[in-house]
A = this chain, B = another copy of it.
Amino acid sequence: MSKIIETVPNFSEGRRVEVIREIVEAVGKTPGARILDISSDADHNRSVLTLAGNEEQVRASVLKLFEAAIARIDLRNHRGEHPRLGAVDVVPFVPVKEATMADCVRLARSVGEEIAGRFGVPVYLYEEAATAEHRRNLADIRRGEFEGLARKMKDPLWAPDFGPEEPHSSAGATVVGAREFLIAFNVNLGTPDVEIAERIARAVRHSSGGFRYCKAMGVVLSERRIAQVSINMVNFKKTPLHRVVEMIKTEAARFGVNVVGSEIVGLVPNDALLSAAEFYLRLEGFDPSQVLENRLAEPGT
């Protein structure tokens, strides 16, 4: 079976529908990775593509995306709520099937070098592909945004991993890396009080003392008049969904609040849900090869 890698490139256009369409079409028309999902946000002025394929397919699709995006996006005229450094802002590679994290690190470095060489865009490597600890975290690399980039790059700590020592005039810089699958997961509370959601978020998120692979913030769903803990699970194998849900239930109970529901935004790996079932059903000695569909997918016996 061939390796499958996912890539989730974010590009800095979420408003001009025609431009988004042209970029997505350019990616889709080229032989390469399959487009699994497209999501654009006008407030953020940003779009996110989810692509999957083997190494050469995702490489080809990402290069095509750069070609189309750099020709159409000028950061000098770009405004949006989401922080960004470049026309194509960030390109993570994610191991999905048969592929390892080492495969994705190697691919990130090779594609990063190719982007820098072909398009003259400085490239930073992040997360598992980072070349120094201080540039592992995307938020740290992106701090200062496009507008502060020329100055930031004068600091030797922030010399790019590949490409020119100054920003591309219209396309800025790009952050390329390798990471685990990210699950966007929201937990809805039986209260409109966002302060409770924020306090629960602080209890479960890594940055304020919570679970290592959990990011979280409190938000309000104004239409439903309820508060929500909005979560990114950045490594569901090491910090599983069920542990965060159970902790949120416990913290919410302290305020007399119930968890009324949850939602997965976008895609979720099957294993993340099987692991929740295994925990809650208290399964002993469960082996994924007991799943009928897995057994059917095995080479013939």
A282 at interface by CB-CB < 8 Å: yes
Fill in one digit per residue for A57-81: 1 if any B CB lies within 8 Å of its CB, else 0.
0000000000000000000000000
A109 nearest CB across to chain B (Å): 25
Which residues, 126 to 148 on A, are CB-close (under 8 Å) to B? none
- In chain B, what residue has the closest Cβ to A272? B277
A interface: dominant SS: mixed
- In chain B, what residue has the closest Cβ to A50? B295
A262 at interface by CB-CB < 8 Å: yes
Q: Which residues of chain B are within 8 angstroms of A300 by Cβ–Cβ distance?
A: 34
B273 adjacent to A260 (CB under 8 Å):
no
A53 nearest CB across to chain B (Å): 10
B263 adjacent to A296 (CB under 8 Å):
no
A301 to B33, CA, bound (A): 10
Partner of A281, one of B4, B181, B242, B290: B242
Fill in one digit per residue for A4-45: 1 if any B CB lies within 8 Å of its CB, else 0.
101000000000000000000000000000111100000000
A267 to B277, CA, bound (A): 15
- In chain B, what residue has the closest Cβ to A94? B292
A267 to B286, CA, bound (A): 10
B280 adjacent to A280 (CB under 8 Å):
yes
A96 at interface by CB-CB < 8 Å: yes
B270 adjacent to A291 (CB under 8 Å):
yes
B292 adjacent to A267 (CB under 8 Å):
yes
Partner of A301, one of B6, B36, B292, B301: B36
Q: Which residues of chain B are within 8 angstroms of A301 by Cβ–Cβ distance?
A: 34-36
A155 at interface by CB-CB < 8 Å: no
Q: Which residues of chain B are within 8 angstroms of A241 by Cβ–Cβ distance?
A: 281
A270 adjacent to B292 (CB under 8 Å):
yes
Instruction: Please judge, given known A-B contacts A291-B267, A292-B267, whether A273 and B277 are in contact too, CB under 8 Å.
Output: yes
Q: Interface residues, chain A, CB within 8 Å of chain B?
A: 4, 6, 34-37, 52, 96-97, 181, 188, 241-242, 245, 259-264, 266-270, 273-274, 276-278, 280-286, 290-296, 300-301
List 9 extra interface pairs beyond A245-B280, A267-B290, A273-B278, CB under 8 A.
A36-B292, A36-B296, A96-B296, A97-B293, A263-B283, A263-B286, A269-B292, A270-B291, A273-B291
6 tightest CB-CB pairs across the interface, nearest first? A273-B277, A280-B280, A276-B277, A261-B284, A277-B277, A267-B292
